[in-house]
Structure 1
Amino acid sequence: MDTKELREIISRGEKIDVEFKRRRSSQDLNDTDLVKNAACLANGEGGLLIVGVEDDGAITGCASFHPKSGSTDPRRIEALIAHQTIPALPTTAEVHTLESKEILCISVPKADSPVATSKGVYQRRALRIDGKPECVAMDPSYLFSRYNSVNARDWAKLEALGASFDDLAPDEFELFRRMVRQQGGDDVLAQLSDEEIARALGFFNDDPDPVKNGAILLFGTRRSIERWVPNHEIILQVMDGSEIKVNKQIRSPLLSAMKEVAERLDIYRTEEEINSGLLRIAVPNLPERVTREAVANALVHRDYTALGAVRIVLDLHNLNVTSPGGLPRGVTLDTLLSASTPRSPALADAFKRAGLVDRAGRGIQVMYRILLSAGRAAPDYSATTDETVSVEVPVSGSNLEFARFVTTWQSKKSELEVLELRLLHLIHTEGRLTLDEIANLLNGTPIRIRRTLNHLADASLIDVIGRGGSREFRLGSGFYDIVGRRPDFIRSQVMNDVRAEQLILAYLGEYGSITRAQAAETCGLTGQAAYRILRSLYERGEIVKKGQTRNTHYVLP
């Protein structure tokens, strides 16, 4: 890291991955506190520990950690941290000089396994209510969850100590069989006995403690759930403005809980019908498949070692589902659509074999596809933190024109991919956008987005304006043809041509002549589009063509 980069980091202030520490003297930050802060960063996202900077970013300097040598030795700092952390934490330390003062910078990697100080302190980086970062203690449930995740231990397959098959309810096994038959699950399981089902799912074996946590959660009696899975709870609320119409606490086994939530939400399902030629399109406010996936994901992927309930809140505009535990290890907000890493593979497999969720692990893609095809916004996971997963599903505000386009296109052409739907919906909503704007709004990879945009342009669903980095994308003629608004596309095209002509004439008035390349750069057009505009002006006598081939340029009459 160079001095300029360090200054820029300090100027942006403390972040979840940047910590400032004062050390005007040896009394401000001792070795123990230094190690504690490094371990804290490692238990979060990793980052930079910068010593010699105040909380407000003022540079006050780092008093020497090794006064006998007259300065701070970075190698000894690295050795100190590695020696006083369990497991040993590798770091990279550097000393920089800013404003004639020494600054100690320690680069801390993100740790897979929880890191403690040699004195047994476990801390992690978190955000306070005011949005500022701090180090907080790891409570036992969080620590246990991280340990299980790192070591690939499936909580659902751990022993429910002291439980027997009598703690499971025959009615829940029968409900599982009914779901298999109705939802198109693994029909082999529907033919098995209760014990055979539990064994097939990996929740019962011949160990001294044969019943596993997953069996209690799926098939347990209410009493056994309270005994072995006390954190399991669902709170379902239906709001009418600020008034609570429904406030239900559910502590049933998972399958019964799914059934009860679905039945209570069924009351509020409505449909809006639109016509597209001979097609009649039903646009539901609460698509059953979407709500099922959202609730199932919350129940399957929540952290059952963490305190807190799964909360399902329906209001006039959104269905919000929140579950404790944060995203499973290896999954981020950027990889939600592509990653399939359940916190409990055994529970996820049980739901798939019951037919409750997508068997290919593409449940979130299914949610995106259904909502976007209905002209709704995509599910919103932006409120997710490292402690909770939150998804907001829109239940109002459907764009019926977009829904009509998707249905018509897919009935006549081919099914649109999820990214194609997202791009078309975004441009339909926002209008003309650049590649950078699109990538930023979708949190996507520019290369993949550009490839998909080019594919849509080939199908005339997207129109490309300009070239290079100035290119913009808007809906193409194919889209307007489908929705019956071709005049709007032609009108917008004419308006763009008029603007380009005005820019070319202004350029000629200022500089006297213009080439095709200069016209393309001035108007943000491709060379071919610029040539079309220049030819139109020339044919109308508004400009004069001079020269030939490479020397061709245009002037005013």
Structure 2
Amino acid sequence: MSIKSIKSIISSGESLTVEFKESKTKLNKDVYETVCAFSNRAGGDIFLGVKDDGMITGVDEEAIESIKKDFVTTINNSQKLSPPLYLNIQTIDIENKKILHIHVPKSKSVHSLNGKIFDRNNDSDINITGQNANIANLYLIKQDTHTEDKIFPYATMNDFDLELIKRIRIVASNRRADTHPWEGLSDFELLKSSGLYKVDKTTNKEGFTLGAILLFGKDETIVNALPHHKTDLILRKVNLDRYDDREIITTNLIDSYYKMMEFVKKHLNDPFYLEGDIRISLRDKIFREAVANSLIHREYSSAYVAKMIIENGKVVFENANIPHFYGELKPSNFTPYPKNPSIAKVFREIGFADELGSGVKNLYKYSKAYGGSDPVIVEGEVFKIEVQTPSEITEQNKSGGISGGISGGISELLNFIKENEGLSAVDISDKIDIPLRTIQRWMKQLKDEGKIVYQGSKKTGGYFAN
């Protein structure tokens, strides 16, 4: 770790993954609690010779070797820290002082210190000994299996919505020019080939998985398998204490996706936008990714109610999560991790999602054009996505109306004409899928401003940028 990086971390203060200890001449005894908490939660960095407020005081040079020796002896002692850890301390020269840096990686085990289990919460080490629910959550975070792979050995094909499977088979086939692998398979073979029927080699249990039930199960099957499964859709713009509109979804993930997208289309504008010379729906591009992410990467073992909340100026998604990183996700620090790979595979086959990791990239690609700023994506026990939305200004027309910012639409129309000169109003209306009457009104304004001119005859002429 470079000096520049260390200074940046220290200047940001203590956090879930950063801890300061003054330890000028000897180790603070609670440093081991932090080591235990970091290893149990998300890992982190401990800096000795730094006060709680970030002031660098340094460690006395004469004490450095004894501090290192005491630390290594303690963390290697299974009577103290169980199971023991094997960590190093790095000496760093900074601001003419010496500090000690300990990097604690996230462990695959749950560790205890003197028989007590510590967890990390914000910038504090918490003793959770005897708190069975919190300890169980630590073990859940560290498990190697996916919740979607839980096997239900007594589930049969009668527990699935066969019409839904038929419908989704058609959707997947229509997306391929060649023959889709699902064609020709029985319903059971389709589920098995999608990783939704498995054999647990450690217990010899065999059967359909939770993923299969969530994707294709009848509603009563889903309730029996996962009673707390629901997604709460809320519109809160006028009545801020309660809501203006609300829908609670408890059905399969396929229909959940459709219902969530319908709620979005019902309550959010879709500004006029051109990508090249093709009009695309920014709203659909963005919320297709956000909705799919909410359903694919949710931790379904948690009773935390997933939400999509449409407010003034933003939409917020929340769902339970087993984090593999803590903090805000950006394209520069984002590493895709398959949290429910079988569910994700089915979503990709039917066009609800693209390859792993594309969702975050597309959210950043389109959100600024849609709402004026990048999305905020935060990984933690609760996964959150916040997308800014455009203003409520709309351009209405007699044929039923078209949502979108007026000035933005005219600006994009002018750009389109610059890149596609000589087209008539009818041709432009057809190509960018905007009603002709709206195009004619916008063109009149552009002509009045002297930004475009019409050249040629009425039958064969077209518009040019001035």
Q: Same fold (TM over 0.5)?
A: yes
Report the Cα offset of residue 393 of structure 1. 2.5
* Partner SS state of residue 35, structure 1: helix
2:44 corresponds in structure 1 to: 46
Query: What CA distance in whole angstroms lies between the structure 2 residues aligned with 1:361 and 1:23?
Result: 42
Segments of 5+ residues of structure 2 without an aligned counterpart are 392-404, 422-449, 452-466
Q: Which position in structure 1 is the counterpart of 2:68? A: 74
Distance 1:5 1:271 in 2: 42
1:359–1:240 CA distance, 2 compared to 1 (3 A): same
1:194 and 2:184 correspond = no
8 A contact 1:301–1:344 mirrored in 2: yes
In structure 2, C-alpha distance between the alignment counterparts of 1:97 and 1:359, rounded to whole Å = 44
Question: 1:145 offset after TM fit, Å?
Answer: 3.7
My pick for the range that moved more, 356-365 or 312-321, is: 356-365
Q: Which residue of 1 aligns with 2:396?
A: none
Structure 2 partner of 1:253: 252
- C-alpha distance after superposition, 1:52-82 (max 9, x if no partner): x76456899999xxxxx99944123112113
How much has 1:251 moved relative to structure 2? Answer: 1.5
Number of matched pairs? 393
Are 1:381 and 2:361 matched, yes or no? no
1:356 aligned onto 2:352: yes
How much does 1:367 deviate? 3.8
**Equivalent residue of 2:207, what SS?**
coil
**Root mean square deviation of aligned Cα:** 4.7
- Residue 341 of structure 2 corresponds to which residue in structure 1? 345
Residue of structure 2 in register with 1:123 after alignment = 118
Partner deviation per Cα, 1:183-210 (whole Å, 9 max, x = no partner): 6698432553321121111111466431
Change (3 A) 1:35 1:169: same
Equivalent position amino acid for 1:193 in 2: S
Q: Please report the TM-score for the alignment, with normalisation by the length of structure 1.
A: 0.57
Q: CA deviation at 1:229?
A: 3.0
Rate the CA distance shift 1:294–1:272 in 2: closer, same or farther, 3 A. Answer: closer
Q: Do the aligned partners of 2:376 and 2:387 also contact (CA within 8 Å) in 1?
A: no
The alpha-carbon deviation at position 303 of structure 1 amounts to: 1.8
Confirm or deny: 8 A CA contact 1:75 1:93 kept in the other structure: no
SS in 2 for 1:287: helix
TM-score by length of 2: 0.67
Helix, strand or coil at the partner of 2:151: coil
- Partner of 2:76, secondary structure, is helix
How far apart are the structure 2 equivalents of 1:317 and 1:59? 42
**Structure 1, 330-339 or 194-203: larger mean CA deviation:** 330-339
Change (3 A) 1:49 1:117: farther
Taking the aligned partners of 2:5 and 2:252, their CA distance within structure 1 comes to: 54
For each residue in 1:476-532, what CA deviation from the matched residue of structure 2 results, as whole angstroms up to 9, or x when unmatched? xxxxxxxx99xxxxxxxxxxxxxxxxxxxxxxxxxxxxxxxxxxxxxxxxxxxxxxx
Q: 1:390: Cα distance to partner?
A: 1.8
Q: Could you tell me whether the CA contact under 8 Å between 1:90 and 1:108 is conserved in 2?
A: no
Q: How does 1:106-505 map to 2 (within 5 A)?
A: 107-117=102-112, 119=114, 121-127=116-122, 133-136=123-126, 137=128, 139-140=134-135, 142-148=137-143, 151=144, 153-160=145-152, 162-181=154-173, 187-189=180-182, 191-205=184-198, 208-243=205-240, 244-268=243-267, 270-273=269-272, 287-325=283-321, 328=324, 333-335=329-331, 339-359=335-355, 362-371=358-367, 374=369, 376-377=371-372, 379-382=374-377, 384-397=378-391, 399-400=408-409, 403=412
Say if 2:288 and 2:352, in contact at 8 Å, map to a contact too. yes
Percent identity of equivalent pairs? 20
Distance 1:112 1:379, change over 3 A: farther
User: Using the alignment, how far apart are the partners of 1:289 and 1:11 within structure 2?
Assistant: 38
What letter matches 2:254 in structure 1? L
Of structures 1 and 2, the one scoring higher in RCO (CA 8 A, sep 6+) is 2
Structure 2: distance between partners of 1:41 and 1:188: 46
Find the aligned partners of 1:261 and 1:235 in 2 and give their Cα distance: 10
Whether contact under 8 Å (1:141, 1:306) holds in the other structure is: no
TM-aligned CA distance change 1:377 to 1:389, over 3 Å: farther
In structure 2, distance between residues paired with 1:174 and 1:326: 32
